[in-house]
Amino acid sequence: MRAEDTLPDHANTATFNGMTVRKGTIAAFLNNAKVFADEDASPTARASAERDIVDALPALSAVGLFEVMEVRDAQVQALVQAHAAALQSFDPASPGTKKAPV
């Protein structure tokens, strides 16, 4: 499957598991994770990246990112796990696994 099969060029959003997700959400997460993990980044930049990561977690969960990928950076992983309650398909006790349907 190619990117345009998931989200056509003319579309800016798509719905995954009932949540509208904006184009660029995963790329923004990756960039924010790099800033958040960068010890040389300014406190303001790191705080902004942290806020943006937390805000994106429900959308990232909806697209299934944490079902197939694991965060390797310890700081970013801890941030994601600390906010895992906001994620329906993310089990904080076992990163990268999906909770059984209720």
Q: Does 97 reside within a domain?
A: no
Q: Does 53 reside within a domain?
A: yes
Q: Does 94 reside within a domain?
A: no
Q: Where are the beta strands (DSSP E) in the chain?
A: 13-16, 19-22
Q: Does 49 reside within a domain?
A: yes
Q: Show the tokens assigned to 29.
A: 């997460």
For the chain, how many residues are written?
A: 102
What is the tens place of the pLDDT at every residue in 38-97? 999 999 999 999 999 999 999 999 999 998 999 999 999 999 999 886 565 544 444 444
Q: Does 100 reside within a domain?
A: no
What pLDDT score was predicted for residue 41? 98
| Residue 20: pLDDT over 90 | no
Residue 22 domain boundaries: 3-86
d(C-alpha 52, C-alpha 48), whole Å: 6
